[in-house]
Amino acid sequence: MNPLKEKPLFSHELSLSQLSNKLRTILINAHHHGLRPMVFSDFDNTLCDHYIFDPQTNNHLPQINQEISRLAKITNLFIATARFADDPAVAIIAQKLFRSDGWLNQPVICENGGVIFFPSSGKKQILAPTDFLDELTSLKEEFDAQPPLTIPKQNLFTKLGKTVLWLRMQDQDGNGKPEFHQRLAGAIREKIDRGKFQVTSGGSSVIIQSQETSKKLAFLTLLNHFGVDRLRIFVIGLGDAPNDEPIFQASDFAIGVKSQTFGYVNEVCPFGEQTALEVLKVINQNG
């Protein structure tokens, strides 16, 4: 374990300037210990807060801040998302946030850690058990026939990935509510084998995945793939919700960009993508 890793015992709410000052001090200390800074971040509602809804594809396409795009391309950065590898948003992530000639920044962790996707080659590394997709297929058929939860004026959408089953409650305009997804997650947990499946919700959807996959395990797999010594880097974790806990656990210093991360992170700076932007600025000034 990294000796500089801070324990998230008491989260404080920081302003952007307070976060900047604290992170600057932390990075100077890490540098003195010979550690390289690296960011391990969630994508939706963390690196990006703005979307355009496409009703034809039922997809929320990200509109990435140009300054975040510029700084991300010069930062050692791993991104994890619940989105599928074939989601148009993942192509946008690769185009807007990764260097075209980079090697460390190429992979995207998709499906909550179930798939590692290499956009440059199209290769997908599946991390879930080989027969798990069959289990998810049966579950999708069951929920399509009999939804685990019904709410007036809300439609349930289900989509099967390589390693996850994605569910979303939304109205005809594509809007969903966090409380509906919390209720949906609770209803699903009552109907599944919890020894086999794990259910997570970040508020905008619900994901069912294997107990053997997570964003943290996928991150460690990638470090091993690239021959990166975990003890030689200082990992700053970014996320917006409790379901990003695997990112926070994998980090030496965890930052929540939304207030619902209290108790899961070292510090909370609840300004969404502006928090992520501040982190990237400080790293590239001091890292």
Is residue 1 a part of any domain in this protein? no
Res 11: pLDDT: 76
Are 91 and 110 in the same domain?
Answer: yes
Res 284: pLDDT: 96
Are 34 and 108 in the same domain?
Answer: yes
Which whole number is the average pLDDT over 18-23?
98
Res 102: pLDDT: 56
Q: Which tokens go with 54?
A: 């496409």
Are 244 and 121 in the same domain?
Answer: yes
Is residue 3 a part of any domain in this protein? no
Are 121 and 251 in the same domain?
Answer: yes
Domain count for the chain? 2
The residues facing 115 across adjacent strands are: 110, 126
Neighbours of 134 (CB within 10 A): 10
Residues making up the chain, counted from first to last = 287
- From 161, 177, 210, the end of a domain falls on 210
Q: Residue 151 maps to which CATH number? A: 3.30.1360
Q: What percent of the chain has pLDDT over 70?
A: 94
What are the tens digits of pLDDT across the range 54-86?
888 878 899 999 999 999 999 999 999 999 999
What are the tens digits of pLDDT across the range 84-107?
999 999 999 999 999 876 545 589
- DSSP H helical segments within the chain, as ranges? 16-32, 66-72, 88-97, 132-145, 178-189, 215-225, 245-249, 273-286
Is residue 5 a part of any domain in this protein? no
Neighbours of 224 (CB within 10 A): 11
Are 123 and 137 in the same domain?
Answer: no
Q: Which pTM was predicted? A: 0.92
What are the tens digits of pLDDT across the range 157-214?
999 999 999 999 999 888 889 899 999 999 999 999 989 999 998 788 999 999 999 9
Are 261 and 173 in the same domain?
Answer: no
Q: Which tokens go with 217?
A: 């395990």
Helix/strand/coil for 274 = helix
Which whole number is the average pLDDT over 274-282?
99
Task: Tell which residue, 95, 132, 141, has the closest CA to residue 111.
Answer: 132
